Amino acid sequence: MADTVEVIRSEALAGIPHGFLGRRGGVSQGVVAGLNVGHGADDAMEAVAENRRRAVAAVLPGAALATVYQVHSPHVVYAAGPWPYEERPRADAMVTDRPGLLLGVVTADCAPVLLADRAAGVIGAAHAGWRGAHGGVLEATVTAMERLGARAGRIAAAIGPAIAQRSYEVDGRFAENFTAADKRFFAPGRAGHWQFDLEGYAAMRLAAAGVATVDPLGLDTYSDAARFFSYRRSVHRGEPSYGRQLSLIGLPR
């Protein structure tokens, strides 16, 4: 892995400290080599802590890092500061108006979404797998931001590295969770299977919630093993564990 932490940014969030990180620039070894930030990845706690420190330093030096216990839900919490590791709320999105605080979501194929209303000084970060997106986590994040003074029509959102449609095979039972209007996000695959467009689906949900600017970065976690961790790729390879990458957004002091 490269020594320098790679920070991928969105033009839609220009001027707001943020970054979508992959696996480059970390200290972890083995199948999770690189910038693994997942505590559940069978990695050394010291390595995860150092990787998180490097991630914060690369995006907003000196900031505190707030993360949640992600459960594929539509639940959003307000972050006034970081929670102790054992006390992290079970949620999949955070919002804040506090300067000097980085909101961080951890992913390994699900879509990380970073949001900001510059005028209001309000930001959000959401972990949107298909269950969370389908359950309304993105709309709930917009609503929570509005409670802090944001307006949907001023919010810019960027969708970071996630599993791409060409890499995301699903079966008919999966497709049954969606409405007829959502069928445009399913491309025909092999017999009895489809290819699901998670990024496109998340972008649609954001736009339907009134978000003014949506920037899907089009980065596929599954197909780029040198750059990103991927749960599905690790399963297909029969690996014993998989790394997680971090997406961050904050307000400067």
pLDDT band at 155 (very low <50, low <70, confident <90, very high): very high
- pLDDT (average), residues 62-87: 97
Residue 1 has pLDDT above 60, yes or no: no
Mean pLDDT of the chain: 97
pLDDT band at 138 (very low <50, low <70, confident <90, very high): very high
- pLDDT (average), residues 172-201: 96
Please report the domains of the chain, with CATH numbers, ordered by start residue. 7-164+211-250 (3.60.140.10)
| Cα 33 to Cα 29: distance, rounded to the nearest angstrom | 4
Q: Which of 243, 251, 246, 252 is nearest to 53 (CA)?
A: 246
Q: How many helices (H) and strands (E) does the chain have?
A: 6, 14
Residue 63 has pLDDT above 90, yes or no: yes
| Cα 190 to Cα 52: distance, rounded to the nearest angstrom | 40
Q: How far apart are the first and last CA of the chain?
A: 32
pLDDT band at 193 (very low <50, low <70, confident <90, very high): very high
pLDDT of amino acid 3: 79
Structure tokens at 26: 């970390």
Other beta carbons within 10 angstroms of residue 124's beta carbon come to 28
